Structure 1
C-alpha cells in the first residue's frame, strides 16, 4: 500500500543544513497497522509528512496504492490526498465551527453535496461515539473527544490510508487506550491501512502489526512487532522495550541467591504451557520464581520469567538444557555460587 524508497529530507536553516530524514526505505502492507517509534527529533514526523507530500522529500520515492506521489501535478496530488487521511497531535480543529462543521469541512472541500454531507457526517460521528456532540464547539470537548473529531474528519472521504502523527501523546493513559481501540476498530472494519507515529512503545504493543524504530533520521530496526518485542537487536530498541518489559532485579536479591538464575521467554502458545512444571517433575531441582510477566503484543502473549534453579549441578545443567529445547530463549543471568 505504501512504499518509501531511499527518502531523505534536508532542511535549510540559518545555521546550515539539517537532515530530518536520512535515506529511509520501508513498505507498509495493505490493511496493516504500522508503527514508527522514536524519541523527539528522530525524524518520525518529517517522515510521515513526506508520505502525503506535506513535506516534499529532498530525494527518494513515495508510492501510495501504486501511485508515485512525487510525479503528480498539484491538481492530481490534491486528488490523491483525498485517499490519505491525516490525524495530528494538536487536533487542528476550527474553534469557531461546531463538531459537525469541522467534520463536514473535508467533505465540502471535496465537493460533496450538502444532503450527502449531512448523512456522512452523522454516520462518522456515530462511528467515533460523538453523535450527541454534533452542535458542540471544540472548547466544550475533552482532549479525547477532540481527537475523535479529528479521526472522523480524517475518515470523511473514505481514505485507503490513515496517517497518525503522535495521535495519542497529548492524552491520558485511559483516553489513549480508547483512541487506540477506535483505530483498531477502523482498521478491522474498513480495512484502512494505518501508519502511526509515536514515542510510546505501549502504543505499538497495543495495536501495531509491524513497527520501525527511528534514530537520527534513520530506521535502525524494523519488522513484525512481536519479533521486535521478543528479540530486539539495537540498543535503542531495547531501551524502548524496557519501558514495557523491565526485569531489573534488586542487587540485594541477586546477592542472596545462591543458585543459577535464568531468564525464560515464553512465546505465543508456550506462554500457557506448563514448561516449568514439567521441568520440575523431570529433574531433581527446585525453583524460586523471582520475577514474571505476560504481556500481549497485539493479543499474542509474550511471557518472561526469571527464576533461580537450585540442586545438584548436573541436574541443574540438564534442567537448563531441557528448558532451552522447549523454549529456545533461555538466558543465564547469574551462575550458581
Structure 2
C-alpha cells in the first residue's frame, strides 16, 4: 500500500521557484499496477522519484507499507529502498560488467552472501528469459534484452514495489509489448505493486489497473483504466485517449452523410452482443458504419462505433432508445438533413 499525502516538490531555478509536484494525493493498493500519465513537464517523473526519495519532497508524506519514508533516518531509508526496485528508461547498465555481474551488483548492495548471490542471479535470469546471456556484456544486447537485465536487477532483493520510469519509451512496439507482458507476469506471480509513468496510452491500456493523469504538477483525473477510457472527464484525458481510440472521419465523408450520426459505446459483455444488428431489424431504419472497433482493456471489451442512421425521425429516436435500453451509451452527433 502506498499513500501519497499532500505531496509537493519545488525546484529553485534562475527564474525563481518552480512547482514540479503540486499537492498530490494518491492511494495505490498492494498488488496493483498503477499508471501515471502526462506530457513532458507534467511532474510525473518528479512524483515517481519522490516515492523512493531519490528526490526529497518539499512537503507532504510518502507512506510505503505503513512507513512514512520522509521521517526515516539514513540507514532506515537505505534498508527501505532495498524493497523498492526501479527500472529506468535508459537502462543504466555497467558496460564493463557482464549481465550476471550487473544483476549481482544490486545483491552486493544488500550484502547478500556469495553462495546465495549466484543462485539468485540464475533464478532472476530464468525469470526474465536471459539464461543464455549470463556472460554477455551490455553492448552485445538488444534494447529489450537490456531492459530485461534492468528488470532482473530491480527484482534482485525481492522488492514489494517496482517503480518504472518510462521503462518502454526507448523500445520499438513489439519489444514494448513483450516487456509489458513480462511486467504483468511479475505483478501477478509475485504480487509486486508496480507504479509506472508514461506518455503512451497504449502502455496504460495494456498493463494498468488504475491510473492518474497529471498536468502542471497536479492530478487532473484518477480512476480505473477501463472507466477513464470509457468516460474521460478532463480535456487532457480526452486528448490522450484520442491517440488510442480515434473517431476522426474525413470531412469529405461526413459531407455525404444525409442521416443522423451517432456515437455508440458498449461496455463489458454488451460489446459482444448484436445490439446494432437487432436494432436495424426491429425498426424501419438503415445503419451505415463510419468508424468502429472493439478494444480490450484488462481483457474487458469496450465497443466504440460511429454510425449513420437513416430513416424517419421518430424511428431513429426509437432506435436510439432501444440501444440505450440494451446497455449502450448513445450520443447523437448530428441530426439528419
Into which bin does the TM-score normalised by the smaller protein fall? over 0.9
**CA deviation string 1:290-337 (max 9, x = no partner):** 111111112111110111111122111111111122234111111010
1:299 counterpart = 2:287: no
Name the counterpart of 2:311. 311
SS, match of residue 327 in structure 1? coil
TM-score by length of 1: 0.99
* CA deviation after TM superposition for structure 1 residue 14, in Å: 2.4
Check conservation: 1:48, 1:197, Cα contact below 8 A. yes
**Partners of 1:67 and 1:173 in 2: CA distance:** 38
Which runs of 5 or more structure 1 residues have no equivalent in the other structure?
none
Name the counterpart of 2:240. 240
TM-score by length of 2: 0.99
**Partners of 1:17 and 1:57 in 2: CA distance:** 14
**Partners of 1:255 and 1:333 in 2: CA distance:** 14
**Partners of 1:14 and 1:97 in 2: CA distance:** 40
SS, match of residue 255 in structure 2? helix
Q: Which structure 2 residues correspond to residues 106-145 of structure 1 after superposition, within 5 A?
A: 106-145=106-145
RMSD over aligned CA atoms reads: 0.8
* CA deviation after TM superposition for structure 1 residue 274, in Å: 0.9
1:9 counterpart = 2:20: no
Deviating beyond 2 angstroms after TM superposition, the runs of 4 or more aligned structure 1 residues are: none
Check conservation: 2:267, 2:328, Cα contact below 8 A. no
**Partners of 1:101 and 1:46 in 2: CA distance:** 30
Check conservation: 1:264, 1:327, Cα contact below 8 A. no
**Partners of 1:303 and 1:207 in 2: CA distance:** 19
Name the counterpart of 1:188. 188
The size of the alignment, in residue pairs, is 337
**Partners of 1:164 and 1:315 in 2: CA distance:** 52
* CA deviation after TM superposition for structure 1 residue 277, in Å: 1.6
Q: Which structure 2 residues correspond to residues 1-337 of structure 1 after superposition, within 5 A?
A: 1-337=1-337
**Partners of 1:275 and 1:113 in 2: CA distance:** 63
